[in-house]
Amino acid sequence: MDEVHKPHDGNLVCADCHAVHDMNVGQKPTCESCHDDGRTPESILKK
């Protein structure tokens, strides 16, 4: 988890963001993997 995606008690698990076989091990998903509103880590952290 990071500053943008803080852990929630039981709400987020690895497979919520990291779909099996979609990416290489260790590769972080991009925002558009899950969101289609143009967000970036920078725009989220400014809030």
Model confidence, pTM = 0.47
Q: What's the fold here for domain 1-47? A: Flavocytochrome C3; Chain A, domain 2 (1.10.1130)
Please give the pLDDT value at position 44: 87
Distance CA 27, CA 37 (A): 22
* Cβ-contact 45, 3 below 8 angstroms: yes
Please give the pLDDT value at position 4: 78
Please give the pLDDT value at position 37: 92
What are the pLDDT tens digits along the chain (47 aa)?
A: 677 777 666 666 777 776 666 667 777 778 887 788 998 888 988 86
Distance CA 16, CA 9 (A): 14
